[in-house]
Structure 1
Amino acid sequence: MSLEPGAVRRFDLSGVNAYLVDDDETLTLVDAGTPRDGDRIRGLLNRAGLGVGDIERVLVTHYDVDHVGTLGSLGLGSDVPIYVAEPDAAYLQGEVVPLLTNLKGVIQRVTAPFVEVPDNEVRLVADGDSVGGFDVYRTPGHTPGHVCYHHDGHEAAFLGDLVRESGGGLGQLPRFMSYDRDQNAESIREFAARVPPFEAACVGHGRPLPRDGYGALRHLADRLS
């Protein structure tokens, strides 16, 4: 379950990954699985000698049912902030409904009733922001408000659905799974050009790459050029 014992832990959930990160003793959950993953997250925390009450912040890469599904039901403390970019933040809070201009938006609209709106404070992040040791990179395309987080101290990048693991490398998700696959490709190229080198590529789908994740990202970006 661990990429680095005591530092970054992968939670292998229902076809999707979440990550638990020790950020200078601030326990941070990156993404939160599907609505049915609550018990599994609690069990994985228990195996690490922790509980939901130990989580002190949540970072969301994007709004999708498999990345925000437990936020309203996991039992997070009322003082635990959730960080997410617009317009995905508005989707999460139920203030705006996803667009119906493509299949991805239709899927988000259909699955929205299964996502319980969290009571926690939602804090907006934007490109160039920092949250503790995490730096924020806006990477739209998969969703309009998709972001990635880079943590220099752990030499890790939390990539959400910007990319997926494929055959031990990195690739794009299928076209129907993105609002704009061309914009997603541009985000991959720009992120690869801007982010500092890192080891661990912490993907939302597939197995994380614990070594030379940056090299795999650059390889994909070069293929998309």
Structure 2
Amino acid sequence: MATELADGVWRFELRGVSAYLVDDDVPTLVDAGTPWDEASIREGFADAGVDVADVGRVLLTHYDLDHVGTLAALTPELDATIYTGAFDAAILRGERSPPWRNHKGALQRLGGLFTTLPDLEINAVADGERLGSFTAYHTPGHTPGHVAYVSEDLRVALLGDLVSESDGELAPSEWLISYDTDCVLDSIRDLAERAPPFEVACVGHGEPIASGGGAALEALSRRI
């Protein structure tokens, strides 16, 4: 099922995680659910009136089973370049494995047993790089290559798993699912300081904040 959060910004509610579709300069898929979410994502595209083949760009906040899971299943209809942080891009290309000595890396290795890597072009995105109306912000901690994307024009932020939502407030990514929680906190403060104002905060877990998302991020930055 797809829910329109703002004009041209759709949430796909999946198995404990959300993906998003944004009508930017080209239809842009943001994250891609678990390997078991293909039917739900296709239903979401239908609800939004967009064909998978129309997607011109995929913005990944990071590599995790529940954020990259359907990419391979959507191919070959999906013929778009994937953008994500350099460390996570190397994992998604199969060039490196998550480090098993880190507890989160070990979880990613386990998740990799259920993840088929997509046969698509994968580009490492640089901090400050523009992709359509979005600017990429390197926000490591949950994963080393985690990236948030903020569109000043659309007033939308794609926050991935840097934060989660509960009862209308944002909270930092927790220790169990993060490489480095100190780094998570630094990234939250940095993004709150650098990002332009936005209203819609799209998160991987919890409910997206459709109004006042920027204020919620600033409030979290002051609390931590």
Q: Which residue of the partner structure matches residue 63 of structure 2?
A: 63
1:150-189 matches, within 5 Å, as: 150-189=150-189
C-alpha contact (below 8 Å) 2:103/2:176 kept by paired residues: yes
Q: Which residue of the partner structure matches residue 12 of structure 2?
A: 11
The runs of 5 or more residues in structure 2 that have no matched partner are: none
Q: Which residue of the partner structure matches residue 109 of structure 1?
A: 109
* Amino acid across the alignment from 2:27: L
The runs of 5 or more residues in structure 1 that have no matched partner are: none
C-alpha contact (below 8 Å) 1:31/1:68 kept by paired residues: yes
Inter-partner Cα distance in structure 2 for 1:182 and 1:149? 21
C-alpha contact (below 8 Å) 1:61/1:160 kept by paired residues: yes
Q: Which residue of the partner structure matches residue 4 of structure 2?
A: 2
Shift of 1:72: 1.0
Inter-partner Cα distance in structure 1 for 2:177 and 2:89? 19
Q: Which residue of the partner structure matches residue 124 of structure 1?
A: 124
- Aligned pair count reads 222
Q: Quick one: percent identity of the two aligned structures?
A: 51
* Amino acid across the alignment from 1:127: D
Q: Residue 185 of structure 1 aligns to a residue in which SS?
A: helix
Shift of 1:47: 2.0
Q: Residue 36 of structure 1 aligns to a residue in which SS?
A: coil
Shift of 1:76: 4.7
* Amino acid across the alignment from 2:68: V
Q: Which residue of the partner structure matches residue 195 of structure 1?
A: 195
TM-score by length of 1: 0.96
Inter-partner Cα distance in structure 1 for 2:218 and 2:119? 39
C-alpha contact (below 8 Å) 1:162/1:184 kept by paired residues: yes
Shift of 1:104: 0.7
**1:59-89 residue CA offsets vs partner (Å, 9 max, x unmatched):** 0000000001111111354641111111100
Runs of 4+ in 1 over 3 A off after TM superposition: 76-79
* Amino acid across the alignment from 1:182: D
Shift of 1:174: 2.0
C-alpha contact (below 8 Å) 1:61/1:84 kept by paired residues: yes
Q: Which residue of the partner structure matches residue 37 of structure 1?
A: 37
**1:78-136 residue CA offsets vs partner (Å, 9 max, x unmatched):** 64111111110011111100011222111000111211111111111010101111100
* Amino acid across the alignment from 1:4: A
**1:17-53 residue CA offsets vs partner (Å, 9 max, x unmatched):** 11100003x1000000000011110011112222211
* Amino acid across the alignment from 2:85: A
Shift of 1:58: 0.4
* Amino acid across the alignment from 1:121: E
C-alpha contact (below 8 Å) 1:83/1:122 kept by paired residues: yes
RMSD: 1.1
